[in-house]
Structure 1
């Protein structure tokens, strides 16, 4: 990213700034979060920094972008972002009306990429427009084609507005799931920067939006469509806010998790409609040997006032949890459709890691399998790393339908679940009124009914 400009570019940038209307700061820099029933969760919200941006605007049309749906705007968008960053920050505006075709967009520090209502960024089918970058594929670091929106070691970045990101055209190149190839490279001791996927004869999909090792990230208001893989994937970041975002519930492509915070600290996900053909939110921290090498937990997360419309877990922890997961608070979630679990926690003795202090309050809806499912034998994989689970707390929750058991929670004989507490909850429409609690210590139920009968 070159910050140098010719005199003509500087003049052009100045004109772009002066002609753009100012953006009211109050519209984007506040996030409405109710008071949560846990003091620690309120502290997480209070201490998660939301980035602020100077009140300067850089419309991409001022740098040559055209909204005809066929002109390649990759260079024009880069020029607008570079100018915004060089000026000390502000808002790069994608104006309403028509589609702007582009390759990968790299966000720089102090830049807010703002999509006006009706604006569409359409990501293209030319793989060469998505250069190689450091990323994580299913918990393993590697070099792959850039996500559609990417940033690396940047600070104070935003992706905001009420426009749409559409990745449909990337289906021509954004394919593959050959994680096994990466695992062979890890076993050989190949460093991440030499685990280069493009050109290797193997293919692995790129995520949609991925800030990597960034600080102070705001993703607000946008709609994602036609993802080929995980939709929002903040990785190794600090202070991430996802607010009022809609992700794609389509069944056209598998593994399109709504939001996957991985090895992040202080994450607030609020007021979202999370559609997915997989998990709604999947909290992760690396896989197996490579996860142990990086060894960074995902911790201090709040999920509040969201609608969950994916077909696996509303809140999923793992299976890539080798670096550990702790301090998760989910409040006022409405689950609909064919979502299988309210809480899905999964690991095995190959993955190891821990998931501890996970709390759900006021989660309601229909569930295609269980309300809570905790497994220590995921995919029957085994190794020498015993996972650690618990405590888990469930309160003020309810269901109108559960196709299986309400609770199916299992530890291991040598690694019990460390606490499982349920209180003030009413579960109706439960197909199997029995519950499985295996190798669970300190299980406690207070004022809990299943199909009208107390546990």
Structure 2
């Protein structure tokens, strides 16, 4: 039986008042009590270091105070603009010291939502935040577009330098209507500004004649974040994009693959430290989880790695990597632990690592255990010359471990792992694995040091 971390259990019960939150802006009096919205269940992991990461990743704690957006003028009729009402409810909760701002059942049209410190935005079952077609309701904010800092239209849910924040409940975020303005992929324009030495606050997308999409949910430079229970539908770009954050927990989230457009990674922690992603069903039309750390010169300017990441008990239903490192990994990626992942649908790789000598960076100490399912291409694909881009920044890869894992289908070779002549992969260890349904039993393994296959078979034959 799996062990459980008692520190991650609910304190003083669940948010029982959520279903009745329409009655008053202050259903619960201000008290010294504090609650977490729901328990977060994390299994005991097979790596002591991963258990330490879970134990050290702080969860937010909110005052036992509940406000309803209805009491600030919101209407869940599917047509009223609720941007100001939701903002007022969140600001009031913040001003009173924090609490739970509840969106009850109904469809609430809104512009960008800005989360503030000590506030949990809680979507009750049947609640829908429907983000609108009026681009003016999504003001300019500092963000990162494909690893480059700039000023662009706000993500649907955004926070900047806030702490102790939550986005919870059984409701839905729907970005379908934003398709009228949330478009474009002119990253080359940003790259030209970086080359010209333009600082981030002056890399303003709006009015430039170029367009770049906005992420769906993006806490930026925040500390102690919980995203729990919600469903995301109709994304236009990256879905969950915590950036330069610490202490992020993502639990029980569903991203709907059936409504995803191209380039809609489910979850992209970027330059974050201590991230726990558990019990989630991650669908995408791209990577399931893509760990990132900035791009090229702008990534080197910031120089923040993405590190101390735990992923457990998730279903992966995107069409590229279950766990992907890069390609925006200039600041580096380290200490990643993925456990009990079920891979379904058209996912190509269990582990996909990609960089080049323009991007540089590193992916080191990446570990997979108990990963199973179908893979359109390979179990592990390490690509050191992604997109053929070249420069003078040699990436570093490894060590990588895969253990206790299996496949019922693998459309190419199980392992396609390549280092560089001047930067060998520093370890690939595979143990106690059974890979069946493998189309090509000739693995590609080049410039790999400390290569070990132990008690592992491919199509029934020992490696």
- TM-score w.r.t. the length of structure 1 is 0.95
Q: Does 1:425 align with 2:433?
A: yes
Q: Show the counterpart of 1:192.
A: 200
Which SS does the other structure have where 1:16 is aligned?
Answer: coil
User: How far off is 1:15 after superposition?
Assistant: 4.8
Kept in 2: contact 1:108–1:157 (CA 8 A): yes
Kept in 2: contact 1:48–1:239 (CA 8 A): yes
Q: Show the counterpart of 1:347.
A: 355
Q: Point out 4+ residue stretches in structure 1 off by more than 3 angstroms.
A: 24-27
Q: Show the counterpart of 1:215.
A: 223
- Structure 2 distance, partners of 1:126, 1:19, is 35
Alignment root-mean-square deviation, CA: 1.6
Kept in 2: contact 1:29–1:50 (CA 8 A): no
Kept in 1: contact 2:36–2:61 (CA 8 A): no
User: How far off is 1:26 after superposition?
Assistant: 6.9
Kept in 2: contact 1:391–1:419 (CA 8 A): yes
- Structure 2 distance, partners of 1:214, 1:248, is 26
Deviation string 1:171-225 (CA, Å, 9 cap, x unpaired) is 0000000000000000000000000001110000000000000000000000000
- Structure 2 distance, partners of 1:232, 1:252, is 13
User: How far off is 1:250 after superposition?
Assistant: 2.8
User: How far off is 1:165 after superposition?
Assistant: 0.3
Deviation string 1:397-427 (CA, Å, 9 cap, x unpaired) is 0000000010000000000000000000000
Q: 2:83 aligns with which of 74, 80, 84?
A: 74
Q: Show the counterpart of 1:6.
A: none
- Structure 2 distance, partners of 1:14, 1:276, is 37
- Structure 1 distance, partners of 2:177, 2:402, is 42
Kept in 1: contact 2:36–2:60 (CA 8 A): no
- Structure 2 distance, partners of 1:120, 1:259, is 20
Which SS does the other structure have where 2:452 is aligned?
Answer: strand
Q: Does 1:312 align with 2:320?
A: yes
Kept in 2: contact 1:91–1:112 (CA 8 A): yes
- Structure 2 distance, partners of 1:147, 1:159, is 14
Q: Show the counterpart of 1:438.
A: 446
Within 5 Å, give how 1:104-143 maps onto structure 2.
104-143=112-151
Q: 2:214 aligns with which of 206, 209, 219?
A: 206
Q: Does 1:291 align with 2:275?
A: no
Instruction: Using the TM superposition, name which of 270-279 and 243-252 deviates more.
Output: 243-252
5+ unaligned residues in a row in structure 1: which ranges?
1-12
- Structure 2 distance, partners of 1:276, 1:25, is 35
Q: Show the counterpart of 1:384.
A: 392
- TM-score w.r.t. the length of structure 2 is 0.93
Q: 2:284 aligns with which of 254, 276, 288?
A: 276
- Structure 2 distance, partners of 1:258, 1:337, is 14
User: How far off is 1:166 after superposition?
Assistant: 0.3
Q: Show the counterpart of 1:9.
A: none
User: How far off is 1:14 after superposition?
Assistant: 11
Q: Does 1:336 align with 2:337?
A: no
Task: Work out the number of aligned pairs and report it.
Answer: 441
